[in-house]
Amino acid sequence: ETARIGVRSVAADGLPVAGFAPGIENLYLLVSHSGATLAPVLGSLVAGELLGRRQPDLAPYRPARFA
């Protein structure tokens, strides 16, 4: 028998984290517990942001909420 243990990335409030890290230039964070189900929409939104288009739908998930 074997046992496997893994750690899933999840923020303290249980919500995704998406946005540039405050105080660290050019570091974009995307952390989501539901990566498989949210990947298509998060991928599209994050790609837009990385191309310079601010995505208001991601506002509640900014890393700055923990600062």
Per DSSP, the residues of 3-64 read ---------TTSS-EEEEPTTSTT-EEEE-TTHHHHHHHHHHHHHHHHTT---GGGGGG-GG
- Grade residue 1 by pLDDT with cuts at 50, 70 and 90: confident
* Amino acid letter, residue 38: L
d(C-alpha 38, C-alpha 3), whole Å: 28
pTM assigned to the model: 0.78
What per-residue confidence (pLDDT) applies to 44?
95
Q: Classify 43 in phi/psi space as left (phi over 0), alpha (psi -120 to 50) or beta.
A: alpha
pLDDT digits (tens, 9 = 90+) for 22-60: 999 999 999 887 767 888 999 999 999 999 999 999 999
